[in-house]
Amino acid sequence: MLLEAIYHQPKRNWAYALDPDTIRLRLRAKKGDLTEVHAITGDKYDWERTTQTVPLVKFASDKRFDYFEGSVKPPFRRMKYGFQLQSGDETLWLNENDFVDKPITGPDNLFQFPYINHVDIYSPPAWVKDTVFYQIFPERFANGDPSNDPKGTEPWGGEPRTDNFFGGDLQGVLDHLDYLSDLGINGIYFTPVFTATTNHKYDTEDYLQVDPHFGDVELLKKLVQACHDRGIRVILDAVFNHSGRTFAPFVDLLKNEEHSRYKDWFHIHSFPLEVKDGAASYETFSFEPMMPKLNTENPEVKEYLLKVAEFWIREVGMDGWRLDVADEVDHAFWRDFRRTVKQANPEAYILGEMWNESAEWLQGDQFDATMNYPFTTAVVDFFVKDDVDAQNFAFSIGNQMARYTQPATDVAFNLLDSHDVPRLLTLCQGDKRRMRLAAVFQFTYMGAPCIFYGDEIGLDGGPDPECRGCMIWEPEQQDLELLRFYKELIAARRANPSLRSGHLNFLQADAGSGILVFERTSEAADQSVDQEGSGTSTRQSGAERSIILMNRSEEPQTITVSVEGRDWKTLIGHDDFVYRNGTLETKLKPFGYLVLKEI
């Protein structure tokens, strides 16, 4: 065994309470090194009568490591534990201090999970994993009320720029709820709707008012209620890292400078307030002087922003917050933010904007989820750019699965594009076969998928501001075939629990290959599957199962995989398959896919 590669710590994603009765344990080892892993567990006060030996199974792999996990139900919600590690004929035991060559016989020197306290359990809203989100940039979705158009509004469908307006508003969204319901989405994420000077509204002027170009608070209430009547949840975007330059406290600061009562609301380096060589004398978002950074450690600022967070939950009945530039705000603020929001609505979804690994924020005391841009990168690299083969794609996904607890993975916000990055179709250089393949993986993976408005009808666009073009409403200008595909994909996900939560096993993901085959089960599997693609699958009694087969290749590919089970039917895809004697075979067309369900 390579002992230096073996890793465990009794916290975070390595040891956590899955529910009030269950502890999930994980351990990392060198890839291909360990053949068996068991946890030796017991109560520290009654070791002899409570000792259990629990197998850990390999649930993920990446380029260098295998990751094992198993669940324990300690009789008294507390546990001491160590590990028995086997590599062929070699056996060692791991306690809290070291590796030893003698079996574990008592609780001394073992790891400890002191107690499952209910308040400490990370429990994100259950509804999220069953949700398909649709991101709306209000200024570009639909103009339902021309009377509130900004001065200089341009004709709908023009070239998007950083400084132009087309008149999109909340009434426009309200007018198209039938379209959204027919599409099948059941969650909307709105970029900011509060008063601001820009078309994107990330420079907040008034946190307690809807921008008059979009409507007012009463119209937002009406829209949220109409969405709820259709079973659609609504989350709004908040910018608590920074305000806009026209935010009243900053206006006072500009006027009164060091004499302003609001000078401690911001991070001021020096007076007078000015911008020299592209850098302001106060801290900002990036280097944008129009967006001064708020001092969230200031008690007055914190009190004000927490009142804002509570107001929109209670006043409008919204279902959660997406939080802009969330990783640049202090953790103490977010802990207070969570308490405030969850008191107002325990089922509210708190989603932080993160572009990197974010486990620190997903321990149950801050966010429920983060925007899963690492997922975006992995999917684009494999399905869109051909930068990696199937094996390395599986390794990337396996690494992401190992980073987070299962509940966090179940509610991750999985996007393929957004208002901040080029649109998926543009990244695919107009190749809708690649776009479909990427979307199939997105909708058959764990977490909540999100569609950026217009992707479903073929809207394209490069980097900001090009990705923020006007929605196309004329049917003759929409890609209706692509729209039917998205409707089919959404319907399949919503109708099949195995596509929404549970476990994932890669069955084929070989080096140098564009063939990807993986299995989804609605319950965690109790046996390991070779992450390097052995082509075998074992059926767990009572679990709903789906098999997803994908061909990222310009050539037809014959795929054969061993799958124990009854029989299979097609959920999505048009290629034929044969299943007999435990073997599934199909010939997928170029960039073809099949999503099959066990029957």
Active site residue 43: no
Cα dihedral: 265, 268, 274, 279 (round 10): -110
Report residue 100 as tokens: 């030893």
Cα dihedral: 257, 260, 262, 268 (round 10): 30
Q: Is the bond preceding residue 292 a cis peptide, omega within 30 degrees?
A: no
Report residue 273 as tokens: 């307030």
Q: Are 455 and 438 in contact, with CB atoms under 8 Å apart?
A: no
Pairing outcome for strands 320-323 and 204-210: unpaired
DSSP character string of 59-124: EEE-SSEEEEEEEE--TTS-EEEEEEEEETTEEEEE-SS-EESS---SSTT-EEE----GGGS---
Q: How far is CA 25 from its chain centroid?
A: 22
CA gap 594, 162 in Å, rounded: 41
Active site residue 324: yes
Burial of 509 (0-12, 13-18, 19+ CB in 10 A): buried
Q: What is the CB neighbour count within 10 angstroms for residue 255? A: 9
Which 3 state secondary structure label does DSSP give 588? strand
The identity of residue 132, as a single letter, is V
Q: What is the CB neighbour count within 10 angstroms for residue 583? A: 12
Q: How far is CA 208 from its chain centroid?
A: 28
CA gap 493, 491 in Å, rounded: 6
Set 324, 336, 368, 417: catalytic member: 324
CA gap 223, 230 in Å, rounded: 11
Which 3 state secondary structure label does DSSP give 595? strand
Set 69, 353, 456, 460: catalytic member: 353
CA separation, residue 126 to residues 130, 213, 500 (Å)? 8, 35, 11
∠ CA 326-139-349, nearest 5°, is 35
CA gap 184, 359 in Å, rounded: 31
CA gap 187, 308 in Å, rounded: 22
Residue positions annotated with a catalytic role: 324, 353
